[in-house]
Structure 1
Amino acid sequence: MTKAPSLRLIGDVPKMLWGLELYEWQRRAWQKAGAASVDDPDARLLVGSEWVLSPALQRALLATPGAALIVTDKPGGAPRLAALHLPEGTTPDGFETQINQENPDVDALTAAGFTPGDAEYFAGSYDEVLRKREAPYALSMLTTPPRKIEKRLFKGSYKGVTDLVTKYAWPLPAFHATRWAARRHISPNTVTTVSLIMVFAALWLFWEGYWTLGIISAWLMTFLDTVDGKLARTTMSYSKWGNIYDHMIDLIHPPFWYWAMWHGLYLVPTGISTFWLDASLWVLVVGYVLNRVQEGIFIGLFGFHIHVWERLDSFAREITARRNPNMLIFMGFVILGTPGWGFVAMAAWTLFWLIFHQVRLFQAWRLPAKPTSWMAG
């Protein structure tokens, strides 16, 4: 197994990024990207401390001996040498002083065994983890305002394929909440724990039929569910345990909310027969489980998520019968004064999308060749 290369940061830049000193942020970011160590005197990868790189570009530079990253970071500006991954047999002597220099000698670098290129030359645009296409970037903390870089990093931490509430309603307030938490060194797991408290608060309020307060608690939980992940990725403090903690809450709680809503609807007259309420609960709970099974089967068969197969599937993810779209439906009916019909409508929406995804799974299985994601093309 090839040993991960070590890294040396060149230059001292007294700046702050996401509540951290820039050196500490860079150390975390590069170790998350796979660097064996940071500031090793015998490091093979030399990087200017001022440069904030996208994760895909970091991984590409670590994996590409001979890479010479050249960046023009402002319109009309001179190109600068941001990073060098020393080829085998090359010593760092003389190359450290070239980092951050303007108008690097491309011919001399090529003659020394380097492959000069820009960010897009070394890194692809598809992020499989976050299910989106994003151009790689290299931003200088000396020429780009830190707040602008923070916005870029925040945007980069967002999933490209998600529900409409997370995609359109939460980004702006979540950016400010994440920035506020980062500057106070609040951990992502602390935010996740508060969101778990909101899960139980909404559960009890729905159980007792307090729809308005229950919906407020539920939306606060979904908002914090966005903030904790963004805080973890922007401060480079995400962990395997934190990921499990967050995703287990996400995975488990929706059926319990549906069960609590069902109970709350029995406490007040709804004008709907118990048959429809009971049938709706079964559809919501069983449909939720089966939808997760469908997604797991698709991943098992084809190696990627069903929601990034074709553009239709990516659009479907915005409105499919997951927690947030269902909450929108229920909230709309509560505003109209008919929570019972909102419960039935969520069940009907769930049934529709269960059939839709089953058809898509069958269509993918019937293809003569293995399907691929439209984002990876």
Structure 2
Amino acid sequence: MRDGLVREMAAPGKSCAAAAFRGRRHVTMPRAMTSGASSSPIGRAAYDEAFPRISDALTLYLWRRPTFHLTWWAAAAGVPLPVLTLLEAVLAALVFWLFWHGDYWLGLLGAVAVMAVSVAATMLARLSHAPASANRLRIAVEIVHPLFWWWAWERGLAAYGRPLEPVYATMVLWVVVGGTVALRVIEALALHRFNGMEIHAWRPLDSRFRLVSAARNVNLVILACGLLFRRPDSGLVLVAWWTLISLIFHAVRLAQLTERQAQRHKIASWLER
């Protein structure tokens, strides 16, 4: 089954590794999404071609189809990327407020809306050739808001009735937030050192691990599972452990890539083969 998932990411007819690199894949049909109905073959083809090849499981296998219609509507209505980014930021702020007050289920519903808008904004940026400044703002919002969510989740534990001991809570929060930042740094270092290749695109193992690696969507699934058992505190602790495990995995892969580069081996994505 794992091989099947990876083969889907590298489906025939797609371009090679560049298609996996966030922010670098653009379809040369900026008006394709507005041609005819939302079921237009041209619009669907443009959307599929621009969609990320490597991402988390929710983005690849849950949000791909629903967000096509949202992206098509935004493109057809002429909604500029900054408007979608602003909507994402406002919804993210609402989720922060709900988490902070321990209203976790309502917050998770809001987080689902943020996921959908985030994917639609990414696709609109790729299909409409948005200005670099607008795209940078979108990426900044996408990177920053989850960090505030995890802080708000920890603060809301007291209101929910499951507070962590203060020192332990600080340790857990530092692992989650600090680990998330460190993961982003590793991704940026890989892009800089290895000619724009994402660390998740090096080998099939990296692409498989990206499906479940610690990130916003995966962490929300873990938190929701904890909440199902009325233990949002345990959910946050599990997120901390999974963030640490993911950080170790990616740090090891970065070290391996750096060693191969030092030995003058060719560094290339498996998608290029």
Give the TM bin, normalised by the shorter chain.
0.7 to 0.9
> What's the secondary structure of 2:211's corresponding residue?
helix
Q: Residue 366 and residue 352 in structure 1: after superposition, are their counterparts in 2 closer, same or farther (change >3 A)?
A: same
Please list every run of 5 or more consecutive structure 2 residues that lacks an aligned counterpart in the other structure: 1-12
Query: 1:133-282 counterparts in 2 under 5 A?
Result: 147-234=40-127, 236-270=128-162, 272-282=164-174
Report the Cα distance in structure 1 between the residues aligned to 2:163 and 2:170, rounded to whole angstroms: 14
Q: Please show how residues 102-141 of structure 1 align to structure 2 within 5 Å.
A: 125-126=15-16, 128=18, 130-131=20-21
Counterparts of 1:268 and 1:183, CA distance in 2: 43
1:232/1:363 Cα in 2 relative to 1: closer, same or farther (>3 Å)? Answer: closer
Give how far 1:197 is off.
0.3
CA deviation digits over 1:224-268, x for unaligned, max 9? Answer: 01111223333x252212211100101211211111111111333
Distance in 2, matches of 1:274 and 1:165, equals 33
The separation in 1 between residues aligned to 2:152 and 2:52, in whole angstroms, is 30
Instruction: Select the structure of larger CA radius of gyration.
Output: 1
Q: Is it true that 1:298 corresponds to 2:190 in the alignment?
A: yes
Give how far 1:275 is off.
Answer: 3.8
Amino acid at match of 1:305: E
* Alignment-mate amino acid for residue 343 of structure 1: L
* 1:307 aligns with one of 195, 200, 205: 200
* Aligned residues between the structures: 248
The alpha-carbon deviation at position 271 of structure 1 amounts to 6.8
Residues 24-57 of structure 1: per-residue CA shift (max 9 Å, x gap): xxxxxxxxxxxxxxxxxxxxxxxxxxxxxxxxxx
Q: CA deviation at 1:355?
A: 0.7
Contact residue 302 and residue 370 of structure 1 kept, 8 A: no
| Percentage of pairs with the same residue | 30
- Within 2, Cα distance between the matches of 1:257 and 1:266? 15
Larger RCO: 1 or 2 (CA < 8 Å, sep 6+): 2
Retained in 2: the 8 A contact 1:188–1:228?
yes
Instruction: Give the alignment partner of residue 237 of structure 2, picking from 338, 341, 344.
Output: 344
Residues 276 and 344 in structure 1, CA contact (< 8 A), matched pair in contact too: no
Once residues 272 and 137 of structure 1 are traced to their aligned partners in structure 2, the CA distance between those partners, rounded to angstroms, is 51
Tell me by how many angstroms 1:127 deviates: 5.2
Q: 1:362 to 1:232 in 2, by over 3 A?
A: closer
| Counterpart code for 1:160 | R
RMSD: 2.6
Which residue number corresponds to residue 376 of structure 1?
A: 272
Give the Cα separation in 2 of the matches to 1:275 and 1:211. Answer: 23
Distance across 1 between alignment mates of 2:122 and 2:163: 41
Aligned partner letter, 2:41: K
Aligned counterpart for 1:317 among listed residues 201, 210, 226: 210
CA contact (8 A) 2:183 2:247 kept: yes
TM-score by length of 1: 0.61
Give the TM-score normalised by structure 2: 0.83
Checking the alignment, whether the CA contact within 8 Å between 2:17 and 2:269 is kept in structure 1 is no
Amino acid at match of 2:60: K
Gaps of 5+ in 1: 1-119
